[in-house]
Each structure stands twice: as C-alpha cells, then as structure tokens.
Structure 1
C-alpha cells in the first residue's frame, strides 16, 4: 500500500504509476514560503472560486426556477426551461476562450494578476444580470443581453479554475497536493450552497409574484459585495514560488497553447476525458434535479432547493477529504471509485425518486460520488503538465471538458425527459459519461508524489 508520501515502503512509485522523465523533487516547504503563505493561498483559492461559483450557480438555479418564465415565455414550461438551459450552456461554451486567453497569460505574466482579473470580470457580469429587464419589459433584447452576460461569466470562469488550483498547490509540499489543490474544488459546492441558500430565503420570504418580479435580482446584486471581498484577499497575496522560479530562470513560454498541443497531447486528452463524468454528474444532482423535482415529481421549489443545499453542504467537507485520500492511496483509485459509484447511483436514483424523502438522500449520495471524483481532480489534472505550461494545460482541459460535459448535459437531460418521458435515459447518459472518465484516468499519468513537475522539468512524456 502506498505511504502518505505516495510511495511504497521500499521507495518505489505506487503500482500503476507511469514512468516519467526525471526531474527535481518539489521544493521543500521552506523554499516555497512559510505555512502562513500556504494558508493565505488556500484561503484566496477557496474564497475566490466560491465567490465566482456563487455567481455562476445563482444563474444555474435561476435558469431552472424562473428564467424560463421571465426571459423565454411560452405556453410550454419545459420548452422555456430548455431555452433557459441553452443560455446556461453558453457559459460553458465561452469557457475555452477564457481558458485559452487567461491560461496563456497565467503562464506568461503570473497566476495572481490573472486571478484578480477573472474574479472582477465575472462579478461585473453577474451584477448586471440582476439589472436586466425581462422579456415582458424589453422584448427580444432581454434574452439577448442575458446570453451576452452569461458568455462573459463563462469567459471569467474559464480562466479562473486553472489558476486557482495552482495558487494553493504550488505553495504546498509533495505528498499534500491532493488536499491543498482541492481548495479550488470546494468553490463550486460552497458557491452553490450560498446561491441556493440566498434564493431559498428569498423564495420563502416573498410571495410568488414578488420573487418573480424583483426578488431573484437580489441574489445577483449581492455578488458585488462578495466579489469585493474576494478581490481584497487576492490583491494581498504573493505570486506562487513555482512561478517566481520560472521567472527567475527566464523559462516562461512564449506560445504556451501551441506548446501544450504539440508536446503534451496525451495528458491534455486524459485530463479532458477524466473531467467529463464529474461535470455530467454535477449537472444532474446540483442543477437539473431542480427541474426534475419541480416539474416531474410536483415538489415545491423550496423542497428541491433544500435537497441541493444539503448535498452541497456535505460536499464542502467531502471534497478536501477526497483530495487527502488521493494523497494517501492514489488519485486514480479514489477518482475511479467515484466514477463507478456515480454511474450505478444514477440508475438507482431514478428508480427511487418520488418525493422529498427519497430525492434528498438521492441528491446527497449522488454528490458524495461526485466529491470522490472532484476532490482528486485538481491535482490529477495539473499533474498531467509541466510547471511552465501548467496554467494553460489545466485551463484547456477544464474548459473543453466543460463544453463536452457540463454544457450539454442539462440540455440533453431536458430533451430526453421531454421525448422519452423517463429518467432512465438520463441515467444511461450519465453512465456513458462516467465510463469516459474511467478511460481518461487509465490514459493519464499517475505522477503523484514520485516526481513533481517543477520549473526545471523536461516536458513529461506520456
């Protein structure tokens, strides 16, 4: 069994590790900055992604609950929801542009400055969504502006993830990257928790007419306060020690996107495929379940949101735990357990879901399996690339997987439900996505702690 350092007792790499080109060990903690710097980086990564995902998640929830009526009115509620999820998908489609643009900048000018820009970009877009006129007030211009601002949100999120992962992991020691890199992964459930919590309070405190008229806007306008807090933390943070060493050596890439595609194609493909299953599972149990519960099971909005809130609350603790477990027992083992469990549970969920009593534990268990994949994911993806290309490579993998997985899933789920009238077709879709993830895990390098892709590494071979 691997030790906490990721090696077997005789010092050899864990079983299943792929040999890689020799490189220096990850610098000791003292060489990277003291523990205080590591804690600050963890807080900056966690708070920033949480606040950005609050912005992103509050749109996701509003798309499922109110945007169909307000921006895409029609006689068929399911059609309006489908159109609202189409704008939800725009945020994912825009991510690769953010990943390419900001990922390149992150490898050229540094992690910190790029992360300040992405946080500001998505915060401004979310605030203006809260000021938009509805279709009844402005006609076609309303959904057009909504799509545009959703696009801007997506560009910001596309550039955020890769840098947030590196912000905490590049301050950490080898043997601990799974845990520390998971700071960025806690952002989505924590953001979802805050977003759905605000919407639940508003929906509970206001009448149906008041919530549809102006109540939903409050959740978007609050982002100005939250993003301001995140900017305060990030502007006071130092650049990561790994990038400082790259800068000192003059080893920053000039064309990182081209270099990733030319030299690290296998790692990129593996990282993309590994992300598909978690994205699809999250789209089901944190986003589409709101539509399924309210429109198919006749649950109230408050009940549906409560199920997602409880599941997200569990994830806040489970994701870093899963990252820690991946440090001890291997990324691919923990990740693979989550993929297999998620595939099986998606079938079980549609067999038992009927009311809050079954939907709530169903969502919680679904998000538990998502956590087992999501916790190790940040470290697994970043370990597929060398340090000088890590921001670009991680961002490309994250954003392109988001288009394949997260963007299409709610649209596909809504379409299949309308055409087939059963959730088992949706379950089959999730099963396929989890199988794709298993293929990605098998294809990827199990680098972990035997060799750290540090600033001086040669390009790792797949």
Structure 2
C-alpha cells in the first residue's frame, strides 16, 4: 500500500481515542457515509428518471419517440460506463492520499456536474450540442459515483468493529435507494403539479439545481469526519519502515488476482441491473400501458424506501452467515421475480 507522508493532526489523534470515543466516531462516519451516498445517488439516479421522461423530448426532439428514448438511455449508460474508471482512479488515490480527501472530491464533482445538467440548454436553443454536453456531464457523474460508493463503504467498514463490518458498510448501500427515493419523489412532485409544457420547459431542471444545496450540506458533514484508522496505521507503518525497492501501484496489486475481482464484479452487476431496470425502463414501460407518470415515480420512490431497510437487514444477516450465501439467495430471488415484475408493470395498477 502506498500512502502520502502527511496527514492532518486531527486525523492522527484518532489513535488516542478511548473505546467509547472510537465507537462514537464510527457512528459519525457511518452517518456521513449514508448521507454522502444518499446525496450522490440522488444526483445519479435523478438522471435515470429524467432520461425516461424528459430528455427524449428536450434534447432529442428531432428524432422519432423511440429513437429519442434510445438516445436518451444512451446518455444514461455513459454514466455506468464511467463508473469503473471512477472506482479505479479514486480507489488508487484513496490508497495514496487517504479516503477522506477522495470522498470530498467525488462529492464536489458530482454536485457541480448535476447542477450544470439543470442548466444545459435544450435542443431548440443549441441543437445537438445540448446532448453532447449532457453526455460529458453524465460521464463526470459516473466517475464521481464510482469513487463515492467504494470509498464511503470502505470508510464505514474501516471504522467499524470486526463482526459488524457488513452492517456498517450497508449504510453506504442504503444511501442508493434513499437518494433514488428522494430524487424520484422531487421529480414526481414537479411532474404532478405542473402542466406538461411547463414541466418539460423548466420544471424538470429544479431538482437538478437543488443538487447544489445538497452539495453544501454534504461537504459540511463530510469535512467533520476523521480519516480511516486503517489508512493511518498503514501510513505510520510506512514511515517506520526502512527504505525498500519501489512498490507496485495499488491498482497493479489488485489486478494480480483477477479471478476474485471479475467474479465479484459480475455478481455485483446483476444487482445494479435491477436498479437500472427499476429507475429507467420500468418507468417508461409502465406509462406506455396507461399508468400516470407521477404515480409510477411515487411507486418507485416507495419501493426505494422499503429497500433501505432490507439492505441494512440483510447486511446484518451477512455478518452472521457470511456474504456469499446472502448474495446467492438474493440473486436467485431476483431472477425468479423478473417475470411477475413485468406483469405488474403492465397492470396499470399503482399498488
């Protein structure tokens, strides 16, 4: 592990904390990870709903409806393509410079990118350049959330006690449905109260502009946490080690064992596939069968709230029975649920 040679005094002081103080700091870090993840996924998944309901009309109005929807989903996909890059970049520098700095930077990038999305001129004003700018900002979102998710989970895990690490890290995962619920609820509210023309003209922009307010809140919360004790211990160890041959980069060390990395990525991809299915395709799919746009968004928000508690509960179960059994059961249930899921989307029944 390669680390920098400087760290703030406030972070170094964590070694001198009593067990009770360390427990309190752990709770603060877990709360920070949850809030930070919620804010970032509010931004990231708000785009998902907008790509289904707004962007085909606003940025791809020169295409037929189907082609416009496909093009809109293409810009949405750009964020997911950029996420691995963000994870690699922020993970690498997190090992060298510290987790806290990278989490603050990822939140800043996400907040600014999301705010700017709310300011992108429509196709009627600048033509295809609007879509180009949209893709660029979406890629910045992807890079930021790639760094946020892994870094926040790692911070919560490294501050927690052995035997509770799954539970601690789960609050970062719980931030995703929290952010999704908040984003879809806000967008759904504007879609419900505004006429269609006004919503497509300016109403959809307000939830994105609110990202700046969330950015300020998140930066304040995140600035108050301490650095990872595991990172600080590695920093201290490296200071006391004699000068040795040049060490390999963190990313090179990870890629030396590609099998576990690839299998974990593929297993995680299936879970994210459900997230994408719910937040994008299912919204437009349900509306095509007659469901009201705002009702579908509220239903998705309700489902996201419910999933918060299941994320935390099953993480707690994984601390007792292991990660692998919980993952396998979850994947099996996901596959079994797909067929009835599409039947429910066609039912035109909110419940």
Instruction: Verify same fold: TM over 0.5.
Output: yes
**Aligned residue in 1 for 2:151:** 163
The equivalent position to 2:342 in structure 1, one of 335, 346, 350, is 350
**Aligned residue in 2 for 1:116:** 104
Within a 5 Å distance, the mapping from 1:268-417 to structure 2 comes to 268-295=261-288, 297-357=289-349, 360=351
SS of residue matched to 2:146: helix
The equivalent position to 2:254 in structure 1, one of 240, 260, 268, is 260
**Aligned residue in 1 for 2:36:** 48
- Are the structure 2 counterparts of residues 216 and 351 from structure 1 closer, same or farther at C-alpha, using a change threshold of 3 Å? closer
- Provide the TM-score with structure 1 as the length reference: 0.69
Deviations 1:264-300 (A, max 9, x none): 22221221121121011111123221011112x1211
SS of residue matched to 1:303: helix
The equivalent position to 1:70 in structure 2, one of 58, 64, 74, is 58
List gaps (5 residues or longer) in structure 2: 1-14, 242-246
Equivalent pair of 2:113/2:137 in contact (CA under 8 Å): yes
CA apart distance, 1:124: 0.4
- The whole-number CA distance in structure 2 between the counterparts of 1:320 and 1:187 is 10
CA apart distance, 1:54: 0.5
Residue 222 of structure 1 pairs with residue 215 of structure 2: no
**Aligned residue in 2 for 1:38:** 26
CA apart distance, 1:96: 2.3
CA apart distance, 1:329: 2.0
**Aligned residue in 2 for 1:199:** 187
List gaps (5 residues or longer) in structure 1: 1-26, 361-462
| Runs (4+) off by over 4 Å | 29-33, 251-254
CA apart distance, 1:75: 5.3
Larger displacement relative to structure 2 (277-286 or 312-321): 277-286
SS of residue matched to 1:322: helix
CA apart distance, 1:356: 4.1
* Higher-helix-fraction structure: 2
The equivalent position to 1:247 in structure 2, one of 235, 238, 243, is 235
- Are the structure 2 counterparts of residues 334 and 87 from structure 1 closer, same or farther at C-alpha, using a change threshold of 3 Å? same
CA apart distance, 1:254: 5.0
Equivalent pair of 1:49/1:161 in contact (CA under 8 Å): yes
Task: State how many pairs are aligned.
Answer: 330
- The whole-number CA distance in structure 2 between the counterparts of 1:42 and 1:99 is 20
